[in-house]
Amino acid sequence: MSHPASPLALPFPAMPPIAGVEVRVARARYKTWDRCDLTFVTLAAGTTVAGVLTQSRCPSPEVEWCRKALVLGQARALVVNAGNSNAFTGDRGRQAVEAIAARTAAHAGCQPSDIFVASTGVIGVPLPIDKAEAGLDAAFTSDLCGWEAMAETIGTTDTFSKGATTTAIVDGRTVTLVGIIKGSGMIAPDMATMLGFIFTDAAVDPAFLQRAMTAANAPSFSCITVDGDTSTSDTVLAFATGAAGNTALVDDESAGADAFRAALNDLCHQLALLVVRDGEGASKLIEIAVTGADSDRSAHRIAMSIANSPLVKTAIAGEDANWGRIVMAVGKAGEPAERDRLAIRFGDTQVAEGGLALSGYDEAPVAAHLKGQEIEIGVDLGIGEGKATVWTCDLTHGYISINADYRS
């Protein structure tokens, strides 16, 4: 985390331990940095797992490994590497993942398929097996650490550590959920953000956990964008140890199922917004709410067209109320729209409706709104009931500075 902290950064919250989860970190030295870059998490026997993974057609070997392991629904350990994504590395990359899983399984006394592996960083450089194995050996004997140390260790261009927590009453028992996430650039996923890990002491059947995780992803990780680029390595995994002692959640009729789903949704929403707050070079968090669209899907596509527009993002960075760029982004989305029904607002101020600038429009309150750090843009198409909300950040010179020297 060599860059100054984002002006949108939030302090790392107090997060309780989760029974059945132990975290350790170590230095594998994947890059020439003086910091921990390997995370090793052990999970109690009986821990279930679910996850969402990148839809990139060029996924990393780690993503392919997790995709197969998720079918079994059980987990005993997690290994996360930072500084090297191991993507686009052919057989050498696959061999590295297999070696990590085998070594970790031998230490944990389980099958390699119970081990989950994720890596993030530079694409196209095989993960060095010797460094991974040395890092693992160091992690196996290192002291236990907390969530913030894990959050720091999994980061790459992140400027602050990201975590969130919440609770729910399930079957008469209080269950706790915590999550950490990393992500700052290459954020516009179809499923999740860069790397995120959720842990709960609730007892949850893996099939139900997968359904809940998939549902929680849709309005959170799949509704954020920083730069319009989807990573080869996007992975969000949820682990449930069952230590809370509730009757296992198996379907929506289980006691506390709704409460658990609500808590998971809230946690994912918190984590997703933390990523946007740390968007590379970001100075403003932007919420884009689209209503009156032909369908929810159409509204989402239009919202993302606005959120990914460099012209919109740079206008917000310059605090310029150039709503014509929003009209442009709506029109290019390829979704149903009628120019003469379109309405646009910044914050609480309507600036256009009926396809025209609002008569008597005063730009002063909009200019004041744009000077803040949290910006709201509302678009109503006036043709249906579809709606969607997405989040992005502005585009500044800082984004170029960070990405121009990413490999150095």
Model pLDDT for residues 294-335, shown as the tens digit of each residue: 999 999 999 999 999 999 999 999 999 999 999 999 999 999
Query: What mean pLDDT comes out for the span 348-377?
Result: 94
Say whether pLDDT at 230 is over 70.
no
C-alpha neighbours within 13 Å on the C-beta side of residue 55: 8
Cα–Cα separations (whole angstroms), residue 355 to 149, 261, 296, 334 = 51, 40, 22, 18
State the pLDDT at residue 229: 63
Which member of 176, 193, 232, 349 is catalytic? Answer: 193
State the pLDDT at residue 187: 47
Structure tokens at 49: 């797992």
Structure tokens at 130: 């010797």
Q: What is the DSSP letter of 261?
A: H
Binding residues: 156, 182, 193, 280, 403, 408
Task: Give the span between the Cα atoms of 288 and 386, in whole angstroms.
Answer: 14
Task: Give the span between the Cα atoms of 25 and 291, in whole angstroms.
Answer: 45
Q: Which domains does the chain have, with CATH numbers?
A: 21-277 (3.60.70.12), 285-404 (3.10.20.340)
Model pLDDT for residues 18-66, shown as the tens digit of each residue: 999 999 999 999 998 999 999 999 999 999 999 999 877 788 999 999 9
Locate tokens 């678009």: which residue?
379
Query: What mean pLDDT comes out for the span 204-225?
Result: 95
State the pLDDT at residue 408: 47
Say whether pLDDT at 82 is over 90.
yes
State the pLDDT at residue 186: 47
Residues 6+ apart with CB under 8 A from 199: 18, 21, 177, 178, 179, 238, 239, 241
Residues 6+ apart with CB under 8 A from 133: 99, 100, 103
Residue 260: count of CB within 10 angstroms of its CB? 26
Say whether pLDDT at 405 is over 90.
no
The angle that helices 296-307 and 310-317 make with each other, rounded to 10 degrees, is 60
Whether residue 165 lies in the annotated active site = no
Nearest to 122 by CA among 196, 213, 32, 200: 32
Residue 267: count of CB within 10 angstroms of its CB? 24
Query: What mean pLDDT comes out for the span 369-381?
Result: 98
Model pLDDT for residues 125-177, shown as the tens digit of each residue: 999 999 999 999 999 999 999 999 999 999 988 999 999 999 999 999 999 99
Say whether pLDDT at 3 is over 60.
yes
Structure tokens at 61: 């070997």
Confidence of residue 184 (pLDDT cuts 50, 70, 90): low
Query: What mean pLDDT comes out for the span 351-372?
Result: 92
Binding residues for substrate: 156, 182, 193, 280, 403, 408
Least confident of 85-89, 99-103, 255-259, 309-313: 85-89
Say whether pLDDT at 402 is over 60.
yes
Query: What mean pLDDT comes out for the span 356-362?
Result: 89
The residue that leads in pLDDT, 186 or 168, is 168
Locate tokens 């052919």: which residue?
90
Query: What mean pLDDT comes out for the span 79-104?
Result: 95
